[in-house]
Structure 1
């Protein structure tokens, strides 16, 4: 009997609490964003402008303070990339990367210098197709091992 009285006293408070939670949800749920399901066979990620399944630099979802090389604003072209021609953007990206490394399956360690040193060590002349190909190879290697 005592438990029944205790339940009867708490029931109105529980009903009021549930009502307030429902009102709050109904008020703030529309602010949560688009909840429509993605189209079949397509990567649909907020901020992924070209719909390739990745948020790349210069897309709406890119945050320069937390993504990539964390360099925001106008990029200064390093000396290693001054005459890179059409590959300047890729050269700047590679040159601004930090040193990195990985351990192979056999236990051997590979450590590479920062991007500027890697660009400086390329044997190809900036502005040539071979230079652009070498930059693409450095970029692919970094993406494979980051």
Structure 2
């Protein structure tokens, strides 16, 4: 397994995303374009970046200063819990409401109310469970 948010890990997530029609296919239907970054709440900068064009992830890897449309943050222990166990719509709402999942950029409330985005968003989190992750050293 690769380290969480490493370039290798982000590219494994990219492959899983592009191979899942419930994520990439559904987002292609709405011409979803976005730069998504993720990292840890206690750090200024995100760790990984994920570039989506018309639902397909065209580039993933280490964050290199890109301006994200969505920047998701959580503590290492929470990310690893979601990687291990997955997360559903209820769990996602609870994580957001309790502050375990933060959005430095992006409107979680608007996104989760749009079923065309909410379903693929939750499913994208469960792709992490497919690939697993090692904790950062």
The TM-score bracket by the shorter chain reads: under 0.3
TM normalised by structure 1 equals 0.21
User: Which structure's relative contact order is higher, taking Cα pairs within 8 Å and 6+ residues apart?
Assistant: 2
> Which structure carries more strand by proportion?
2
Based on CA coordinates, which of the two structures has the bigger radius of gyration? Answer: 1
